[in-house]
Every structure is written in C-alpha cells, then in structure tokens.
Amino acid sequence: MQVKQIAEALWEIAPSEKPGMLVPARIYGTPEILQSMDGGVFEQVTNVACLPGIRRYALCMPDGHWGYGFPIGGVAAFDARSGVISPGGVGYDINCGMRLIRTDLTLDEVQPRLERLMTELFRRIPAGVGAGGFVKLDRSALEQVMVTGSRWCVEQGFGWHRDVERIEAGGCLAGADPEKVSDHAVSRGIHQLGTLGSGNHYLEVQVVSNDRMFDPHAAAVMGITGHDQVVVMIHCGSRGFGHQVASDYLTVFEKAMRRYGIAVNDQQLACAPFSSPEGQDYFAAMNCAANMAFANRQVIMHQVREAFATVFGRSAEALGMELVYDVAHNIAKVERYPEGELVVHRKGATRALGPGSPDVPSCYREIGQPVICGGSMETGSYLLVGTDAAMRETFGSTMHGSGRTMSRAQAKKSVRGDRLQQQMQQRGILVKAVSMSGLAEEAGLAYKNISDVVESVDRAGITKKVAELRPIGNIKG
Amino acid sequence: MAFSYRLLDDVALADLAFEVAGDSFPDVVQGATDALIETMADPVTVGATWSQSIHLEVTDPADLLFRWLSELVYWKDAASVVFSRAVLDLREERGVWKLDATLVGAPVDRIAQVLRADVKGVTKHLYDVKGDGGRWTARVVVDV
C-alpha cells in the first residue's frame, strides 16, 4: 500500500490502493509518528474509506492505532441522507472524553498535602472492576440522566449551573430516547454513575508551569495562568452502559446490513443507513449513553471539588475550581459542512472547532474550542485549541491522546506495577491504583511520546498548543 | 477434560486477547470461561457468596461461546461481582448446544481481592471458534 506525503505532517493513500475505496485515506503525523504506527491503522483507515456515503476522506489522527473496525484516532463523515452510521466508528465506550478543572492553588500549596489529597480522591471516586458509585439511581432517574446528561446532575446539586456552558453540547445531546436502550444496558449502568472504570481511564492532578505555556493569551481566557498552577484532569466515559449499547447495536447492524445490501471488509465495521430505523435507533441509544458519560464526569468533578474542599479547608468556589471544558472523543454527531448535513464519527478523536464557531461557548469563541489531550500517566498532557484549518480539513477534529504502541500483555511483561508506582513516586508522581497489573499496562513505555503527537497536529495546523500539563498525582482503576 | 489458554501479546494493542485449545467444544468453553474470569480478578482471592444460574440454547457453537462470555461481563456489572469459578454443563442435543451454568463469585472487595481488568465487552474482532474432531480452538478479544 503506497502512502504518499502530501504536506509536512499529512499522508495520503489513494483510492486505487484498495478495491472499494470511495475516497482517499489521510493520516496526520510527522514521518517519525507515521513510522511508529502499527500496520492495522493503514488497513483499517482504508476499510473506512469503503463505507457507503463517506465524504472527502477517511482520516486518522497522529495518535492513531489499531481499534475495532475504525482505527483509534479515526474520523469519518457520512452524508446524513445517503450514508451510514457505525458503532465501530464511535467505539464501545460511547462519549469517552476528557474534562479539565482549574484551581487557584499552586504546586507549593498542594505538595505538602498531596498524599492526603490523593487518598481523599481515591476514597471518593470509585475505580476499577465492578465499582459502584455513591449516586443511587432507580430506572426512572437513570432515564432522566440519559435524556438530560450533566443538567440532571446540576439540578441534583452535583455541580454549578455555569458548568454546563463549558461542556460540549452543554452536556446534553438532543435526540436521546431511553426506549431504544436495552434492559441489559440499564442493569449495567444503574450503579455506575460517578465511577472512573479501569483500562486507560484516570483522574490526574497536574501542574502548569510557565515554561510550558505556548499561548498565554488563550490559556488566560481558559483560566490557566501558569506559575505552577494546579489543575485536575478526568478521563472516562459511559462505563458498562455505553459498552452494552454498542454491543447490542453491533448485533442489530450485522443483520441489518444483509437487509440493506451493505458489505464491509471487517465485521466490526457493521453499519446501517443513518436514515434507516436501525440507524436512528442506534443514534438515539448512543445519545443516551453519551449523556450518561457527561453526567458521569460531572458527578466525578463534584467529588473532586468536595475532596479539595475537605483537604484545603476552603470551598471549591474559594479555590477557584471552575470547569475549563469537557469534550467527547468517542462520538457520532450530525454537523453542517459545505456538503450539507454529515454524520461525523470521531473515535479516539476530539472535536476541535475554530474561533467564531457558534457551537463554541461564548467565553471561548474568540480563541477556538478548548481541546484536552491526555498523555500517558508518566509523561503529561496537553491543552490545545481548535482552528479554522481543522474546520476545512478534518471536519473540525483532532487528536485525543498519546496512542498506544505496545499491547497490554507486553507492557505487563516489561514492567511490574508496584515497581512502576515506586519509580513514579521518586519522580514526584503519586499514584493510587486499584490493580497493580492494570497500572503496569498503562506504563509510559506503552505509549507514543505525546509531545511528538501534539507536534504533528500543531505543525499540520489543525489544533494549536496552549499549555502542557505535568502530572503530580494519578488515580487508576 | 483437557484445555489450555494463553494471552495473545500482539492481537489487541489497547485491549486483551486470549486463545484456548481443548479436546472438545465444552473443554474450550471451560477454558475461555476460566481465562475471562482470571482476566477480571485472581479467582483464588474471590469467595463464593454469590451465584447465578444461566441457561442458554444456541445452534452455532461460536454464538454460544460469545453469548456466554457476554453473560459473564453483564453479571460482573449488573451485580457488581467478580467470579471464583463457573460450573458448566454443556451438551449437544439434536443440533442444539444447551448450556446450564452456575456462575459463582463475590461482591467486589478491593481490599480482599486481587482485581485485574474491568472487561467491558466481548468483541467480534478476530473472533474465531473452530472444531476438528478431537481438537477445538477459540480466539477471543475483549474490550477493557
């Protein structure tokens, strides 16, 4: 398969390279990043380019790696009238996403109480296998969560009214219909609101230093001031609830494809016309799971504020714990582009709207939408902003994280969880983990260097760096 | 009964995969069950204070294994438990595979149990169940 460089950090695979490709495949990344990508990315992004109704390109971001059906880092847009929707283009963890909270605290103030803070966060925020949340829901309440997302949480006192203004789509996607969600999904999700999960999900206390600020103006607009300011990042999604929705509809779509005469190169690319009853049912159920994920991160943020207030003896308001932004990176949304209404799938990819977009909160419209990218727990994370170039080239999308280069099994063979925990503590990163094997799986050596990945999107112009966030405390499932 | 299973290193970067081999289809189902149980928690550290009976009837062996493993993932979340063992009675009657299973475990306890990965779904990626006389194999990728 010939991969041709067409710009400094952009590569293209022509439709002639695989039978059935309807559009070119495009991969973002520096030459070094491209070389580090696993072969599955090239196979999978070209499979996506074969799906009915795809427009312009099948895209993969520089943090791309092998996924189910679509690669992680995959972006594809389908005509809303003639194209498809695919659970494989959203991912199992519907609305997995990132949330960033600022504080007025500095490293000097937090360091002496870091152990107590991390213990308090670990106590308040359930993580790992089978952990249930402190919010007890009945089915009726869960259905309200499915329909209203973060807004339900704020009404219950888990957050501030102004929080929802700084969440993608106001923390509540329209078109959610609980009747399209199975009883199995409800049973799995009913205990899980306010839980972190496991895998690559985490809660991290981070520091922003002056020497790692790249756009002080944009940072200031977001309340990021540098001077060793402490911030908190949350990475999680819709837990077992979203996974069950995805599994249920993959089965539905496998049968529907035969009825609609759709053939795909990979069973995990199962899809249905967006306008079909099956497509609309999945979209309604997916929106329920997406709203549950917004609510999940909202409840976790509430617990973070409570933990900080307990440890520092001041209210969360007095500590300046404002939400910077919350953004999904596993989602399908109907968005308007010059071609018309498109169903934009982002799987391990973040929406990155440019300045002036009406869908960016008014407080950020001047600078563009905040983009939150989580790195490995050893290396750090980045805050970026969307650009006009992203609107033109990538359906307003960019990277979401580091991207793995090593399997979980290999990572566990390379490092022991307890040893890694000690090494990180020696480097000033305090880790609380439910599972030591899970910790080993998430070692920094299993990921690309996030700075190289960020450099790719910055050079390509589809997002611009604002600040680097360095970890000092991490909670893992 | 004879079966073995091993984790596959390079099949799923972000997730977990295992391959099971056995003398019969019931052996492979038992092996895959044990592999999935051990993926979630060390069963030696999990008690037996919770149990659930499950009955499945499926024509296609691959479908049966997929649905059964998905049941384990479902009950892990729905009952907030991890498992110590599963007792399986699997037989073929007139072309239909019938499974009567008892899933045994205990509520999640992060102090007493050695917890591992929170498996969230069984996938169809590279999913494969094959039988040839006295030799059956299965390959399963789970999303974590």
Structural domains counted in chain A: 1
Of all residues in chain A, the one with the smallest CA distance to B41 is A129
CA distance B106 to chain A (A): 11
Q: Which domain does A121 fall in, by range?
A: 4-80+95-405+447-476
Residue type at A78 in one-letter notation: F
Put simply, the answer to whether B124 touches A267 (Cβ < 8 Å) is: yes
Percent of all residues in chain B with a pLDDT value above 70, rounded to a whole number: 95
Residue A368 domain-assigned (yes or no): yes
Q: What is the CATH number of the domain that holds A11?
A: 3.90.1860.10
CATH number at residue B133: 3.55.10.10
> Considering the domain boundaries, does residue A149 fall inside one?
yes
* pLDDT at B16 (0 to 100): 84
Contact A341/A334 with Cβ under 8 angstroms?
Answer: yes
- Interface mutation target, options A407, A436, A476, chain B, most CBs of B under 10 Å: A407
Q: Which helix (H) or strand (E) holds B88?
A: strand B81-93
Domain boundaries, position B116: 3-143
Tell if the CB–CB gap between A68 and B125 is shorter than 8 Å. yes
Asked if the structure places residue A441 within a domain, the reply is no
Helices B25-40 + B61-78 axis angle, to 10: 30
Q: pLDDT grade, residue B126 (50/70/90)?
A: confident
* Residue A268 is assigned to a structural domain of this protein: yes
Q: Which residues of A touch B103 (CB under 8 A)?
A: none
Is A59 inside any structural domain?
yes
Asked if the C-beta of B104 comes within 8 angstroms of chain A's C-beta atoms, the answer is no
With a cut of 70, say whether residue B12 has pLDDT above it: no
Q: Looking at A191, A235, A345, A400, which residue is catalytic?
A: A400
Q: Do residues A187 and A241 lie in contact, with contact meaning Cβ atoms separated by under 8 Å?
A: no
Q: Would A52 be classed as within a structural domain?
A: yes
Per-residue pLDDT of chain A (477 residues; tens, 9 = 90+): 899 999 999 999 999 999 999 999 999 999 999 998 888 999 999 999 999 999 999 999 999 998 989 999 999 999 999 999 999 999 999 999 999 999 999 999 999 999 999 999 999 999 988 778 889 999 999 999 999 999 999 999 999 999 999 999 999 999 999 999 999 999 999 999 999 998 889 999 999 999 999 999 999 999 999 999 999 999 999 999 999 999 999 999 999 999 999 999 998 999 999 999 999 999 999 999 999 999 999 999 999 999 999 999 999 999 999 999 999 999 999 999 999 999 999 999 999 999 999 999 999 999 999 999 999 888 899 999 999 999 999 999 999 998 888 888 888 889 999 999 999 999 999 999 988 888 998 999 988 889 999 999 999 999 999 999 999 999 998
The CA R_g of chain B, rounded to the nearest whole Å, is: 14
Task: Answer whether residue A161 is part of any domain.
Answer: yes
pLDDT of residue A212: 95
Structural domain includes residue A12: yes
Of A199, A240, A441, Cβ closest to residue B77 = A240
Structure tokens at A282: 């999945």
Nearest CA in chain B to A240: B120
Shortest distance between the Cα of A471 and any Cα of chain B, in A, equals: 22
Residues A146 and A281: beta-carbon distance below 8 Å = no
pTM as predicted: 0.95
CA gap B3, B102 in Å, rounded: 20
User: What is the pLDDT, as a whole number, of residue A404?
Assistant: 82
Residue pair A253/A271 in contact by the 8 Å Cβ criterion: yes
Catalytic, A184? Answer no
Work out how many domains chain B is built from and give that number: 1
Contact B15 A38 (CB under 8 A): no
Do A364 and A353 form a contact (C-beta atoms < 8 A)? no
